[in-house]
């Protein structure tokens, strides 16, 4: 009988460990997804600014403004969507005992990056005058 209890305890510990590992993988996947959204937004932001900086000699002003607005606007949306996607899973696992980046840090970083996009858009419109 003692052997059965020992086996049951090991099975329960194994199940708990498996659940904890699954939660950790889920949280890490959520962080990777957030990083991918931010990376995509930064690439669009830099491409929009590079359009303004390097194509002014080759393209008309209106087309540069359109390209820069689309690219920088996409970066703005990517930064906000990154925080939105991250917060979806964060709400679902925040009550569990798992290490996760606080939501206030993610939202703050995304807001700062979105503000950088707005500043870059203003620069793009005034730099092409």
Residue 35 and residue 26: Cα distance in Å, rounded? 14
- Provide the residue-wise pLDDT of the chain in tens; the chain has 129 residues: 555 556 666 655 555 677 777 777 888 888 899 999 999 999 999 999 999 999 888 999 999 999 999 999 999 999 999 999 998 877 766 666 777 788 899 999 999 999 999 999 999 999 877
The whole-angstrom separation of Cα 45 and Cα 79 is 10
Give the span between the Cα atoms of 49 and 125, in whole angstroms. 10
**Cα torsion 34, 35, 38, 43: sign:** negative
Instruction: Give the residue from 52, 119, 50 showing the smallest Cα distance to 79.
Output: 119
């Amino acid at each position: 009988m003692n052997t059965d209890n020992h086996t049951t305890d090991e099975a329960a510990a194994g199940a708990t460990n498996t659940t904890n590992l699954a939660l950790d993988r889920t949280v890490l996947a959520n962080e990777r997804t957030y990083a991918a959204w931010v990376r995509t937004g930064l690439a669009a932001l830099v491409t929009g600014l590079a359009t303004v900086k390097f194509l002014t000699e080759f393209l008309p002003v209106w087309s540069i403004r359109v390209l820069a607005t689309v690219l920088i606007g996409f970066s703005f949306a990517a930064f906000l969507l990154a925080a939105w996607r991250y917060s979806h899973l964060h709400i679902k696992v925040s009550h569990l005992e798992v290490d996760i980046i606080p939501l206030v840090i993610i939202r703050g970083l995304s807001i700062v990056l979105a503000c950088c996009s707005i500043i870059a858009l203003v620069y793009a419109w005034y730099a092409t005058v």
